[in-house]
């Protein structure tokens, strides 16, 4: 429902007796064009087919109406909308902070997180934080960002080149894989793991020697 000048207007199409026009351009149950017929004739055909007469193009002259099972149509439309929302991919930007003189072990850990984010189809904002005298050595941060970009180039690309932002240097990595693809692969992997667990928990078949 949506409001208009204090009143409410239904967003649903008019059906059956709610259609108030002398004639309609009728479309049959299978999408075939019946042609322009009087409204009474269209309603009669709807009763014969045990279907609804649904106005699908109210602004046409005359309006276009179709014979369909409106209850089934609404249900299927709701399911499609629900599935579309479920599979909708939202752009997410993760952030990873590093120091220019990072320890090798810490670097590997941070890189592992970046790899995971890119595999999930997310963008990653890499921030190099300079402190004290480190601010006079921006090349340290630049080289570190270049190294990281090269280490993960199979999974992502440099979407925003390194740039100085106050005491920080920032670079954005984008994933090669789209979010929807990553989500689909994750669901497939989850289903495969579930199937393996079910097979592993199934009782072993007893065999007898002939």
d(CA 20, CA 18): 6
- CATH classification of 93-179 is 3.40.50.300, yes or no? no
Residue 103: exposure state from Cβ atoms within 10 A (0-12, 13-18, ≥19)? exposed
d(CA 35, CA 23): 10
Other Cβ atoms less than 10 A from the Cβ of 151: the count is 14
Q: What are the domain boundaries of the chain? A: 2-69, 93-179
What tokens does 7 get? 């009143």
Per-residue pLDDT in tens (0 to 9) along the chain, 210 residues: 444 344 444 568 899 999 999 999 999 998 899 999 999 999 999 999 999 999 999 999 999 999 999 999 999 989 988 887 766 656 678 999 999 999 999 999 999 999 999 998 899 999 999 998 888 889 999 999 999 999 999 999 999 999 998 899 999 999 988 776 776 777 777 777 877 787 766 554 444 444
Indicate yes or no: pTM above 0.85: no
- CB 165 within 8 Å of CB 145: no
Class level of CATH domain 2-69: alpha beta
The two beta strands, 52-57 and 156-165, are unpaired
């Amino acid at each position: 429902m949506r409001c208009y000048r204090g009143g409410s207007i239904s967003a649903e199409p008019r059906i059956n007796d709610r259609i108030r026009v002398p004639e309609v351009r009728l479309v049959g149950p299978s999408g075939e064009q019946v042609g322009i017929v009087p409204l009474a004739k269209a309603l009669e055909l709807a009763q014969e087919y045990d279907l609804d007469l649904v106005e699908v193009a109210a602004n046409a002259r005359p309006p276009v109406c179709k014979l369909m099972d409106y209850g089934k149509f609404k249900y299927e439309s709701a399911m499609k909308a629900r599935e579309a929302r479920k599979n909708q991919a939202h752009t997410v930007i993760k952030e990873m902070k590093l120091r220019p003189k990072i320890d090798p072990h810490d670097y590997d850990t941070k890189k592992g997180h970046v790899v995971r984010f890119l595999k999930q189809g997310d963008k990653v904002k890499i921030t190099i934080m300079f402190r004290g005298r480190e601010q006079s050595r921006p090349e340290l941060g630049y080289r570190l960002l270049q190294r990281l970009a090269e280490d993960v180039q199979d999974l992502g690309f440099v979407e925003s080149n390194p740039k100085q932002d106050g005491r920080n240097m920032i670079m954005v990595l984008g994933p090669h894989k789209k979010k929807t693809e990553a989500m689909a692969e994750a669901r497939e992997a989850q289903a495969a793991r579930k199937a393996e667990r079910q097979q592993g928990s199934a009782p072993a078949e007893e065999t007898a020697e002939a």
